Amino acid sequence: MSLGMYKPGQGYWTRLMTAIGGGTVIGATAMWLWAELETVHVDFPVIYLQGSVAMLIFIVGGAFVYWLTYAKPSTSEFLIATEGEMKKVNWSSRREILGSTWVVIAISFIIAVLLFVVDIGFSKFFQAIKVLQQG
């Protein structure tokens, strides 16, 4: 296992964001375990146990995330290829996104009004044939 970076200079952003995501998961795990260890009864102050376990999680987790995103060839190749494909994507403009959003909002509102009218119609119909009581 090599500690060096596989293909340095390629896939910078996908590797970086993957490492940040992994670090977030590791940090959340350390925080959760810190809180869980508050109830443990030991012969020494529990904060030493909490700190040791949190440090161990950060060290092991950080090494694992580094190895996974920077040193392991198969994962690095995937992240490099992902960044290359993302550069080929034709992203919509702000104007297109806003136009599409307003269309979705308008259609949702029209469907809501239509369903409200149909619901009132069914309610009146079932009240007329005495299936529902007017209340």
Q: CA 5 → CA 26, 58, 81, 103, 121, distances in Å? A: 21, 20, 16, 47, 68
pLDDT of residue 4: 81
Give me the residue spans of the domains in the chain: 12-88, 91-135
pLDDT digits over 30-62, tens only?
999 999 999 988 899 999 999 999 999 999 999
Check residues 5 and 126 and name the one with the higher pLDDT.
126
Q: CA 92 → CA 14, 108, 116, distances in Å? A: 21, 22, 34
Helix (H) or strand (E) holding 32: helix 12-36
